[in-house]
Every structure is written in structure tokens, then in C-alpha cells.
A and B are shown apart, each in its own frame.
Chain A
Amino acid sequence: MTTKESGIAKASSNILVFNVGSSSLKYKMTSMPSGKELLGGEVQRIGAKTAEPSMIIHFSGGRKSVYNKKISGYGEALTEVIGIISSEDYPHPDFIAHRYVHGGTQFRSDSIITYDDLHALHETEEFAPVHNPPVIELIRRCMEQYPDIPQGIILDTSFHSTIPEYAGSYPLPKDLTNRFGIRKYGFHGISHQYVVEEAAQFLGIPLERFNAVSCHLGSGGASLCAVVGGNSVDNSMGFSPLQGLVMSTRSGDIDPSIVLKMIVYAGGDHSKVNRLLNKKSGVLGLSGMSSDIRDIINMSVNYDDERAQTTLDVYLWRIKKYLGAYLAAVGRVDAILFTDTIGESVPLVRETVCRNLDFFGVKLDEWRNSHLSGFPYDVSVHGSNVRIVVVKTDEEKGIARRAYELAGLGGGTSIAESDGTRGIPEEEADK
């Protein structure tokens, strides 16, 4: 079904956006093209082993409601969200858009999704084993709940299509990289792109001249992005979201030989190792107590817990390594940007990773860093060559814009209609 056939390309459309994180589900309904937010919220700590229970924070009409509830999976989270949305007199969505982390080789750009596409979506699970399966589950549930409303996936990798070959290639045999599409795709592109645009505007620097290192530090996933002239030139995540920083349950960088050894130790059980590296490593694997770095900070600072301290040290060390790497790679840097749950709300993280970066012209103002008043907020000292800006990300707004474009184009191709590459042809998607 095309969007024109579905009739959603009307003057004003309500786009309901779902954004699945490693342990969260954000949602927002936006009226497009005005961008007016109708409702929104977040289900936090879904199924995660954390010190605090799951909760739903819901916003509408300037009101905030908080629901504490044990939520063990994304299907359950969706049921709760639908219950909330339906219980109030909200307008119905015209289009449902899902952030989709990695479309593999099957989906190269934003696409309309129908029942016929679900099988192909399942084939992409291995590209992002933490994110893709719950999104597919969510899409299926939405199809049951809203059978007449078209849905689409908005890819997280588009922003990183400008990564140059020398940064995006892996030095592996070309017959393999070409056959399987093995290269750095990068992730969190929707967020990085959004905060880069916001920061450039905030600092009064034309986007095409804006150089930055963007630090998307979520409570689940996290990545750094090197930006030159407003474009991504590198991202700490790679072919999959497993590469890079230490995350809540993902290992981040490890020696490739360790992965092979693990598979041998696991008796060849590939899925066991996959699960271990994606769901039982990172902050959880190191600490043994929680996957949320805020719990670890609490245990370290307030209870002097040695294992928590080591976990925190490793977490921060890895961010600093990538920050230094990308500061060197970018060269003339206008700003370091911090965003998402941890980047926005944990001053200790910003302070520690920006400490002793005088070489790069980075100087953080400790008082400003611990006394944010609004977003964006500059926490660098006066005279710092590199500004340090905390920017509130709004991936859902970015997704809504792109979803509206997807729907408005009317050419979003379902797999049922396509015998080749799924999605809108790249030249069209670039428009």
C-alpha cells in the first residue's frame, strides 16, 4: 500500500512515533507539518534489572502523569501506552512511525511497512539484536491494534551515510565486505543530527561550517559522533550497535579474538554469545548489580562500592577515549555536545570526560555544569576554544518530520511492491 492510497497525505496529519531504546519506549504524537506536540511520554526501565521499578511518564496538554508499574516486555509496554492514549480524548494517529536501528541489506532507507514486510524485517534482527526484535514486535502489535493506519520505519543510519571510506571501512577481505555489506553504518543518527542542528543554531554557526563531537549518552545505548560541516564523519558504533562505548548491557569494543574464544567456550552456541555480549555485558556485566549507570554512580559515590567504582571508571574511560579520538579527527572543533538521558542529566559524566582536555582547547565550567538552566546550555568556561553544550535531544520530533516526508512523498514502497531493494530509492530519499 502506498501512502497516497492510504490517504494520509493530507494537509495536516497526526504522526504517532514510537522509539524503542535498549530498555525504554518513547512515544509522541505530533501534528505535522506544524510540529505541534499533542501527547507524549516514555516507558522507562522495561524488563531491565535495575534498582528502581519500571515507570511510565506521560505528557499531554502541559500535564505530566507518572505511573509506576512492573513492565517486563515491549508488548506489555505498548498495551499500557495504548491504554493511556485511548483513555483520554486524543485524536487518532494518521500514521505510525517507528525508529528502526538497522535495516540490514534489506532496508536501506525509510520505508512503509505492511504485513507482507514482517518476514523481511525479521531477517534484519541479527543486525541489531537488541533493538530490532522489539520494534518488530511493536509493529505487529500496532497492526493488530490499528489495522487501518499505515506504518513506517525511520532508519537511524541515514545521517552517517557521509562517513568517508577510510573511517567507514573494515580492513577485511573485500569479497566478504562486498557480499555482506560489512561496513560501518553508525547509529543514533536521528539524535545526532537533531542535536547538531540545534547546537549550530544556538551557537550562531552556519551548519555547513559547524564542527563538533556529539555525545549521545543514553541510559541504554550510547555513541559518539564526529561531525564536520554538519555531516557525520565517524560514529563509535559500527556495523552493529555493539561496537564502541560501554553501554548498559552491551560490551562495546572488545578484542575480536575474545568473541571467537567465547563461542568455543559456549560449545559453538552462537546465540548464547550474542546474548551475552548484547544483553549481559556492559555496565551490567561489569557491575553485576545494575545496567543503569546512574545506579552505579549512586553505589560508587554514596556507598563506596569498589566494583561499582571500577564499572564507573571503565564506562567513563571509554567515553574519554572516543572523545579524544574524535577531537583529533575533527581538527578544528566548535563544540562538544552532550545529549540523551545520561548526557543531559548527569554532570559527573560531563565533568569527568572533559577534564584535562586543555590540549584540545576544552575547558568546562564546573559550576555551570552542575547548575543547568534550560536547554541548550553552554557549560564551558568563558574563553574555551571549544564550547561544551548540553542539548536536549528530541528524536521523536526528528522522526515525525521524516515520517511526514515519507508519507507526503506517497512513493514509500512496500516490499510487496518491490522485487529488489526495499525502501525509497536513495536519490528520492535524499530529496
Chain B
Amino acid sequence: MKRLIVLVPEGLFMEYFVYDLPEIRTTCRDCHPEYQRGGRMRFRGSGASLASIKGTIEGYSPDSVAVRVRYGGSRFKDVSVYDRSLLPELEKLIPISPLDLPPVIKLLKTLDRVVPPPQILLFFETSFFSNLPVQERIYAIDGILSGSRVPQPDQYRKFGYHGLYHEAAVIGIRKRNPDVRKIVSICLDSVPELAAINAGRPVMVSSGSTPLEGLPGDRTCGDIDPGVVLFLEQRSGPEMVNEILTRRSGLSAMSGKTVTLDDVFEDEITNREASDLFKYRVLLECGSAIALMGGLDAVVFSGKYIQSAEKLSGWLTSKLSGHGVSGSRIPQEVPDIEESRIPVFYSRDPLDRIIAERCLEMDVSAVGY
């Protein structure tokens, strides 16, 4: 038996989940609010909260600790075993991910002092998208402002930010259905994301250089005209515009009150504007994905708002089935109703379990020692 703790930093808090591998057992998400096998800790605070985290982890004496990291740039293309030599490389990425990386770096420095020292694994959300096709990942700008500080190359390229969900969902489908190649993967989260994945390789993702681009989130704007950003910035300044786009927009702005994606689909009548806009944006992204993959074999939903997927999937497949073709496998035929139904899968595993299963597959004891 190997004891694993999965750490998922999320905003001001960090959730932790304890696994005794090879058993993948129910974790705190299902036990909430008791957190029988894990818990929730204050994270962003310095000193005391980090000491508390250290104490909690030492209390479990884990063999390994797996940390979910949102951003790893082009440098971190896979799961990485942490050692101190990685710190300078992570610190170099802070200008691109100024909100997420500093607390993670503090956390890693804290984990360095845990006794006895566990193996530390870093799971980057961006790794899955590190090899996006060049035509998808770059923007049509030259990237250099004369007379200004030249930004890093990664500053102006696209990444996905839910790579762990997408990868697990697609692997899950293809294990059972190896013929399924062209998949639209939709992660329903507070900042949702849609990806086109062809034969296991992502070819398109709705998020961009940051999670702000793409589908609108609970409070994030998603795709908007760059001209709108310039227009607002001229009136309010960059800090205020950043606040507007990242905290005061999205589904909540459409509904006129703070809502989540689940709230919107729970009561579509009250939140009709938000619901209509979100569904339409998903349909557009799906159409793009199908065009770029040259067809569609399946749709898969994942993410913490998975309960909204059923309402969304019914609407979505009815729209896509309107084309009368089930996908690239039978392009010239008009199949009957049953044949034309596009398979929809639901990947209900929470993020900690996805990471735990990855650790199990990797045989964590064999990594890094």
C-alpha cells in the first residue's frame, strides 16, 4: 500500500484528498462536508496556513504528494517529479500566471520541509495542450512592442486549462471504444472549456493564453471583441477592466446576480439569457471542432458541473444531429434516427480521483526514486 495525498489549490482554499493506493476509494467530494478522507484548508494566507498544511500532511505520513498546477507553459509537458531545481523554472513562469503560480511555489517550499519527505508530483493542466497545432496555438500578432519589454514567447500562445479532465475523459472513452477518434470534450467548470481531440491529440481548445478566452464562465467573460477591451480600457484603465472581465462578467453578468453554471441550468427560465448565450457559444465551439477534425464520433462531458451536462447534451446533440449525418465514418449516407445519434459520454470522476488514478497507472513508487 502506498499513501498518496492529492492537493488541489483552488482560489483561497486548497482541498486535500487521502488515498491508500492501489485502492481508489470514495474521497471527500462525496463525503462533503465531513471530509472523511481529506479536507479543505486556507491556502492563500502565508505563515500560519502553510504551517497548518505542513502539519496536516505530516499527520498522514504520505509516500507521495500530487499537486495540481494550473499552468506549466511549454516547459512542463508531462507530470513532473518535483525537486528544488525546478523552482527557478517555475518562478520564470510567474509573469504569465501571476495569480496561480506564486502560492503553488510557496506550497512546494513548504512541502520541501515535510518530514519524512514524500515524493512530490506536479500535474499541470496545460501539459495536455503543449503540442497543440501551431495554427491553433498562435495569435495573429507579431508579439513585439517596440520600445517595450519583450514578452516571453509563451505569453502569446494558447493553452488549455482543464487538460487533466479532458485527457482522463478521452482515455476513458477510447479504452472502451478504440474506434472513437474524433471527440469533442466539454469540461463544465466555473471557467468551462471545450476541446477537440482527434486520435488522442488535442487540435483545438476554447481557452487561450489564459482561461479568460473561450466559453463564458460563472464570472469570466470568455470570448469578446478585442476592440471592446481597448474601448473599456481607455475609460477605466487596465486594472479595472481586468476586474470587470475576470470577476464581474460571464453568466453572472447575464443573470444580473451571482450564479454558477449549475444554477443557470437548474433554472433556465429565470436565467434564460445566460442559458441561451452559453448554449449558443458551446454550439459554435462544437461546430469549429467538427470542422477542424473533419467529423465527430463522440461528445464527452466532465468537470465539477457535470450535473448540468444532461440538459446541455440533449440540446446540443439535437442541434448537431440536424445535419443528418452521424460523423465521419459514414459521410455519404443519411442514416436512420438511431444511427444518427451522436454518442454522449459523461466522465464523472472528480479531479482528485483522476490524479490518483494517473498516479496508480504510473506506479508512483517507481517514479523519481
Q: Which residues of A contact B (CB under 8 A)?
A: 126-127, 165-167, 169-174, 176, 180, 182, 184, 237-243, 246, 250-268, 270, 272-274, 276-277, 280-286, 288, 310, 313-318, 320-329, 331-332, 355-361, 385
Q: Which residue of B lies closest to A274 (CB)?
A: B230
Q: Which residue of B lies closest to A285 (CB)?
A: B142
Q: Mark B120-140, 1 if CB is under 8 A from A, else 0.
A: 000000000000011110111
Question: How near does chain A come to B135, taking the closest CB pair, in angstroms?
Answer: 4
Q: Check A257/B213 contact, CB under 8 A, given A313-B134, A324-B288, A331-B319.
A: yes
Contact: A359 with B277, CB < 8 Å?
no
- Interface window among B58-66, B80-88, B173-181, B242-250: B242-250
List 9 A-B residue pairs with CB atoms under 8 Å apart, sorted by A's residue number.
Answer: A126-B231, A171-B222, A239-B228, A251-B140, A251-B226, A255-B208, A265-B148, A282-B140, A317-B135
Q: Which residue of A lies closest to B96 (CB)?
A: A261
Task: Give CA–CA (A355, B292) in the complex, Å.
Answer: 9
Contact: A254 with B253, CB < 8 Å?
no
Which 5 residue pairs across A and B have the least CB separation, nearest first?
A324-B291, A328-B287, A240-B227, A356-B294, A358-B331
Chain A residue contacts of B249, Cβ below 8 A = 171-173
Determine if B223 is an interface residue (Cβ-Cβ < 8 Å): yes
Task: Give CA–CA (A361, B324) in the complex, Å.
Answer: 9
Q: Which residues of B contact A (CB under 8 A)?
A: 133-136, 138-142, 145, 148-149, 151, 155-156, 158, 204, 208-210, 212-213, 216, 221-235, 238, 241-242, 244-245, 248-251, 253-254, 256, 273-274, 276-277, 279-280, 283-292, 294-296, 319-320, 322-325, 327-328, 331-332
Question: How near does chain B come to A140, taking the closest CB pair, in angstroms?
Answer: 25
Q: Which residue of A lies closest to B150 (CB)?
A: A265
Chain A residue contacts of B151, Cβ below 8 A = 261, 265
Contact: B136 with A254, CB < 8 Å?
no
Task: Give CA–CA (A305, B10) in the complex, Å.
Answer: 45
SS of A interface (majority): helix
Task: Give CA–CA (A193, B210) in the complex, Å.
Answer: 36
Chain B residue contacts of A310, Cβ below 8 A = 134-135, 138
Question: How near does chain A come to B342, taking the closest CB pair, in angstroms?
Answer: 10
Contact: B223 with A253, CB < 8 Å?
yes
Task: Give CA–CA (A385, B294) in the complex, Å.
Answer: 16
Contact: B134 with A170, CB < 8 Å?
no
Question: How near does chain B come to A376, taking the closest CB pair, in angstroms?
Answer: 24
Question: How near does chain B come to A306, taking the closest CB pair, in angstroms?
Answer: 11
Q: Which of A243, A256, A284 has the most CB of B within 10 A?
A: A256
Chain A residue contacts of B332, Cβ below 8 A = 358
Chain A residue contacts of B327, Cβ below 8 A = 359
Task: Give CA–CA (A127, B155) in the complex, Å.
Answer: 27
Task: Give CA–CA (A173, B219) in the complex, Å.
Answer: 10
Chain A residue contacts of B225, Cβ below 8 A = 170, 184, 237-240, 242-243
